[in-house]
Amino acid sequence: MSGGPQEELEKLGLEWGGLTRTKDSSASRHLHLWITRAYFPSLGTRACGEECLFPDCPGTLTHRPHLTDSKDREGADFSPEDWHWRGRARCGRRALLAAVAWTAGWVLAAAFLLHARPPGLPERCSDQRSRQILAALCRDYLGGVLMGDLCEDLCVAGQLVYQRCLYYERGKKVLQADWRGRQVILKSKKEAFSSFQPLGLLDEGQGVPEAELLLLVAGEVQSTLGLPLANGSLGLLWLGPRGPGWREHVASLWALLQQEEFLSLSLLRGLSRHVPPVLGSCGHFYAVELLAAGSPHLHALFPLGEAARARGGQAAAVGSIALSFLDMVQHFEQDFAHRLHLCDIKPENFAIRSDFTVVVIDVDMVFFEPKMREILEQNCTDDEDCNFFDCYSKCDLRLRKCGAHRINSNLQVVCDKIFRHWFSSPLEDSGVSFQLQRQFQEVVRECADPGDPAPPHRAAPSVFWKLRSLLKALVQEMQATEP
Ligand SMILES: Nc1ncnc2c1ncn2[C@@H]1O[C@H](COP(=O)(O)OP(=O)(O)O)[C@@H](O)[C@H]1O
Ligand SMILES: [Mg+2]
């Protein structure tokens, strides 16, 4: 690729399309209510949820005749009062029966869930399912439906071997595999190749003019990411020579182009040390390197490996990762023609390399400035309407429109969601002076919370430099105390 990052990205600049999505955090409640409805319709959860599970037990529920059947076992009608009175007498026995039924229901539901997934519930990440998905991919490859530089290794040579399932969510599949001795990740937004929109033009066979095809592909990229691509400048649009396999190649490229993450990763390939390069693809699956992913359940948020064992090693590692976060923030702010916004900052969307370089592994919610402006500029009635995950703007109450300008920054969210976790309590056994730690905590607080609710909202640039020099001092002190 010629021209370097600045020039290459100067060519970019239309909109990033179709990236909005919702994250459903109510899955467990949904599961609970679903099971309740499925197994205890007579217990009245239709109308009021968990508080009504024992409707005929006074104290739990009083008069709610609409929630239950108003006939007793013999079929005689009750008035609500009657129902209430009889309910009192039978409460203990019924409660016991209901509890037994409740437990049995959960056991049955769990057994059922192993085989059938009700709509709306996340699919279980399993080896069996993952192998089936890859087997279907290979069937399509061998059947001449799709192509890719990894297909031969995956489907014929046995050089790309499935290892384990990492993640299934909202159709997205993330699998770990061994590729010629190297651990990689296979990713796709959807499970089946057939779930992606086919390229209708391909039905016209090899006769379809190259220019028309290129226009269509470039249009798709442009509408998804907003990038006016110079012919072939990204390698991404390389349609290859006509001949055997050409149709499958273009069909596969078309499925990949429908995945915003693949497009962003391909675009940033070679331009950023904080983004993993795409290593290859087969059909709708693309491969990236396996990295040490973050998790909110880890004490240090990232798996530190050997570093965690040495005295003060863990704190020094955390300090190095924090410095890399700062480097990434600065890089995304300055090194491209447009500022790059991270709108979903949480440990699980980042990973570290062995040298503690921070890498963004989920780029679905990463937007260049023009797309960011387009996303933010929505109708609103208050400021809340202008919050897009971690990217905020303000509601102009007169125009009832959110400002296109993001009012917070990547640095601010990193301070709030990552640094605060690390540095809000004293670093144990780190050998860093109490005074330096206090100073650092104060700057992190200032960075995460710059004068809210009054303007300026955005962390001042000076905070970045204060953080950086304090972190460097911190890491130096910690390294000095290492045995
Ligand atoms: N390159 C990678 N190395 C290691 N783990 C990864 C990698 N990419 C994804 N993962 C794991 O898969 C999870 C889900 O991937 P992600 O792209 O964040 O999906 P989503 O867009 O649904 O949040 C991550 O949180 C991480 O645990
Ligand atoms: Mg993610």
Alpha-carbon span 248 to 255, nearest angstrom: 11
CA dihedral for 388, 389, 393, 399, sign (positive or negative): positive
* Mean pLDDT of the 250-260 span: 93
The H or E element containing residue 263 is: helix 260-268
Residue 311 predicted with pLDDT over 80: no
Ligand 1 pocket check for 191: Cβ under 6 Å: no
Residue 72 predicted with pLDDT over 60: no
Residue nearest atom 2 in ligand 1 by C-alpha distance: 290
Distance 364 CA to ligand 2 centre (A): 8
pLDDT tens for residues 118-170? Answer: 556 667 899 999 999 999 999 999 999 999 999 999 999 999 999 999 999 99
Ligand 1 pocket check for 413: Cβ under 6 Å: no
- Tell me the backbone φ, ψ of residue 309, rounded to 5 degrees: -80, -35
Ligand 1 pocket check for 389: Cβ under 6 Å: no
What pLDDT score does 457 carry? 58
Token output for 397: 């109450």
Of 175-184, 270-279, 409-418, 456-465, the poorest mean pLDDT is in: 456-465
Ligand 1 pocket check for 166: Cβ under 6 Å: yes
Distance spanning both ends of the chain, measured CA to CA: 46
For a pocket test of ligand 1, which of 23, 123, 174, 269 has the largest count of ligand atoms closer than 8 A to its C-beta?
A: 174
Contact assessment for residue 289 and residue 185, using Cβ atoms and an 8 Å cutoff: yes
Residue 436 predicted with pLDDT over 90: no
Mean pLDDT across the chain = 76
Q: What is the DSSP string of 303-317?
A: --GGGGTSTTHHHHH
Distance 349 CA to ligand 2 centre (A): 5
What pLDDT score does 6 carry? 37
What pLDDT score does 202 carry? 77
Ligand 1 pocket check for 363: Cβ under 6 Å: no
* Mean pLDDT of the 209-214 span: 80
What pLDDT score does 391 carry? 97
What pLDDT score does 3 carry? 41
Alpha-carbon separation of residue 67 from 47, 79, 89, 173 (angstroms) = 7, 14, 19, 41
More confident residue, 91 or 187: 187
Contact assessment for residue 221 and residue 263, using Cβ atoms and an 8 Å cutoff: yes
Residue 10 predicted with pLDDT over 60: no
Ligand 1 pocket check for 174: Cβ under 6 Å: yes
Quickly state the pLDDT bin for 36 (edges 50, 70, 90): very low
Ligand 1 pocket check for 15: Cβ under 6 Å: no
Contact assessment for residue 421 and residue 445, using Cβ atoms and an 8 Å cutoff: no
Residue 16 predicted with pLDDT over 70: no
Q: How wide is the angle at C-alpha 436 spanned by C-alphas 434 and 442, nearest 5°?
A: 100
Ligand 1 pocket check for 293: Cβ under 6 Å: yes
Quickly state the pLDDT bin for 74 (edges 50, 70, 90): very low
Distance 430 CA to ligand 2 centre (A): 31
Token output for 54: 């024992």
Quickly state the pLDDT bin for 455 (edges 50, 70, 90): low
The listed range with the strongest mean pLDDT (58-72, 224-238, 431-445) is 431-445
Of 109-123, 283-297, 301-315, 463-477, the poorest mean pLDDT is in: 109-123
* Mean pLDDT of the 187-194 span: 97
Alpha-carbon span 185 to 183, nearest angstrom: 7
Quickly state the pLDDT bin for 225 (edges 50, 70, 90): confident
All structural domains of the chain, each given as residue ranges with its CATH number in brackets, are 27-115 (no CATH), 122-290 (no CATH), 305-481 (1.10.510)
Alpha-carbon separation of residue 170 from 24, 203, 228 (angstroms) = 9, 30, 30
More confident residue, 461 or 227: 461
What pLDDT score does 242 carry? 76
Classified as helix, coil or strand, 269 is coil
What pLDDT score does 428 carry? 65
Residue 365 alpha carbon, nearest atom of ligand 1: 21
Residue 11 predicted with pLDDT over 80: no
What number of residues does the chain have?
483
Residue 110 predicted with pLDDT over 60: no
- The rounded percent of the chain whose pLDDT value lies above 70 is 67
Gyration radius of the chain's alpha carbons = 28
Name the closest ligand to CA 177: 1
Ligand 1 pocket check for 172: Cβ under 6 Å: yes
